[in-house]
Amino acid sequence: MRRGSAALIVLTLTGLGTAQAGWRAAAYLGGAVNHEARLRLEQPARATRLDLRGVRYEGRSFQPPVYYGYRLGYFFGRFGLEAEFVHQKIYAQAERTVEARGTFRGEPVAGRWPMERFVEQFSISHGLNMLLANAVWEQRLGRRSFLLLRLGVGPTVPHPESSIQGEARQDYQLGRAAIQAAAGLEFRLWRGLHAMSEYKFTRTRQRVEIVAGQAETIVRSHHAVFGVGLRF
């Protein structure tokens, strides 16, 4: 191989690995599907301590208020730091049968029942509202395409809605931390404007207030999102 050809290959590979420093912003829509989970109810004043296993959460991502997210970050070449907001929803399928164990209103419970026998509604319908700080790594794949990998962690501000035996509560609360891992592709459309798509996995253990007590559940979700980004 000639020296000139070898030098050209090295320069090409080097160019594919570089990235410009600067600010970036993105906004996206998408959807999420969730793993089955356990929902634990604790109402000491009602003599209730009940585990419901096999609870299924719908995402209803394209029903108002829709799933959305946005982020802003700064890149130091191939490595970047971002702040990201993710508005995801969950709705328990209360009509489905779950395994119930524990005590409900002072009565022992053990068996399979429709969830609505105990809980008419449990949702976080105005969002888990994840506020994430991301570390990002970028690899250029071609003249216009990029691979980005993200790890993030941050607090949540959920808006739970519950109805248990006719007693309802809904409000914004300070939730527990969420984590995410994500992999995405970006494609340059024109100057700093990019199209983007991304897969995310998120996990958060939420413990929220209900009437006369608390409810706890783990939300593990797979997300697919698409949107636009701007590099400036």
Mean pLDDT of 89-117: 96
Report CA-CA distances (Å) from 64 to 13, 87, 146.
46, 12, 32
Residue 117 half-sphere exposure toward CB, CA atoms < 13 A: 17
The overall average pLDDT reported for the chain is: 92
**H or E stretch at 3:** helix 3-17
Mean pLDDT of 127-136: 97
Could you give the percent of the chain with pLDDT greater than 90? Answer: 91
At residue 17, does pLDDT exceed 60?
Answer: no
Question: Using CA atoms, how far apart are residues 90 and 167, in angstroms rounded to an integer?
Answer: 20
Residue 13 — very low, low, confident or very high, per pLDDT cuts 50/70/90? very low
At residue 43, does pLDDT exceed 80?
Answer: yes
Residue 187 contacts residue 194 (beta carbons within 8 Å): yes
Residue 204 contacts residue 176 (beta carbons within 8 Å): yes
Mean pLDDT of 136-149: 96
Query: Structural domains in the chain?
Result: 21-231 (2.40.160.20)
Mean pLDDT of 180-190: 97
Q: Specify the pLDDT at position 15.
A: 43
Residue 12 — very low, low, confident or very high, per pLDDT cuts 50/70/90? very low
pTM of the entire structure? Answer: 0.89
Mean pLDDT of 14-21: 58
Q: Specify the pLDDT at position 81.
A: 98
At residue 115, does pLDDT exceed 50?
Answer: yes
